[in-house]
Structure 1
């Protein structure tokens, strides 16, 4: 299959590219390379990889990238609550308006599959024990709202084969909170950040602690996109899947304790004040039963690989701009 990955040099995107190439697919990446292209360095000479620098807000870039493509995995966007709050107008343009344009260009190029990266943050705060794909959405941030809007755009634009004049098979993947080492590393994610603090400062500050997060390793997340791409059309058409593991729904305080157990000398420090009131536990049964995908790595795996990388690469500035989405101007 010939697959376009928007944001293919990103935190998850570079692993999706790797998985696709390993599976024998032809891959094209469209990325603005705001954080550089180093994440694609191991594959840049691969004969099945075509790398395009461009902006998903530009129709010409989208159209060029979709030439002779069978499927699109749409990862590009402004990711995370802090990053989206930096420039609300840019967030609307990149996360919502560009999605509208992307769908229309997909129609023009007769794209067969469209897989969209959404987030479990669309569930917001909930008192339900476990949220599934049919649960009420309660986005509490601009980021989550922009993802909800994009989901609606994609499903509404493709659901009626007769009026939409398209044969696109759309699938929405709602990601749990990602963790783990990546070639385009991020330390603005809870497990990654607390691990860095534990390794470099012997300190694991947990704000609140009772709020739940559904977690998933970055490599497992990438595997989910490829599993959906390769699944029979009838199983994924117009479907929404939560991506994560039922055993990885953790309160933040437990995340802190797991990191404490795995990083010698580090100690959890509980802080009463908390700014993020989101708390939700998510059910991931659907993707396991329908697609056969399941997570392979847990928090301990992520903590160990991050610690090893920090020590081997002699990382000291985990708060550096290159590791945080919110420090970059999205113009």
Structure 2
């Protein structure tokens, strides 16, 4: 790869077209990042501490929160540094590593959402066999498969992209190493490579989304047959948080990665990327907290425990001093 590549470093142009907004963007994104970390951490801690949440549904939610936290750590810290830095260069190996982890974790998120839909399908369609079908071993296998498959696909994408020769320019019209802005700099990007990248992307997005929709078709078919309106409402409410997250996640991702691209669309993609790298990880824990009664109860319980313990900790420190 080194022998074929004339460019050794890239320039992440990102928000450089809006120099007057960079300090404001830094403040907004920094505060959003802190909120994302706190919100996802609170969900993970709550699930870990409350035995009532030790169920497959919340096991996958824990994995999703952890994966999304890692995804933001791959992108946002670097973005914040570049907003305040005059030098926005990134080496070719750093760019490849960032792309590997971003798409690996992003694909992992998609597959975890698919596993969550399968969990809901199993719970609603086969409630009597649910404890047998969704054992702890099965949950770990689904989570492990999501991670391994996600990073294998991401590795294939990175190998294709970084075996290209970059000799046109070194300015990436984005704030991170995304596929389309990087391959637009290559001078030997062929239709075969374009189709291969599109196939991998479509496999992750369309494939996982199709599994989710198939699960929901069976879920709806089961729910409408329930004789009790209260039972139907309760069943739908257990799926509402997941379906809302799926709608937001796939809506933004499909708009960016499954439509035709040209250099004029990179600015639009940059603004959209802020949404799915900052807003989506921020909304997901909020949605699950606001629309899930079990999570609300557990969060209130943990918050109450912290409030009760805080004066005791302060008193002990005061006595020691």
TM range (shorter): under 0.3
Higher relative contact order structure (alpha carbons within 8 Å, sequence separation ≥ 6)? 2
For normalisation by structure 2, the TM-score amounts to: 0.25
Please give the TM-score of this superposition, normalised by the length of structure 1.
Answer: 0.25
Kindly name which structure, 1 or 2, has the bigger radius of gyration based on alpha carbons: 2
**Higher strand content, 1 or 2:** 1
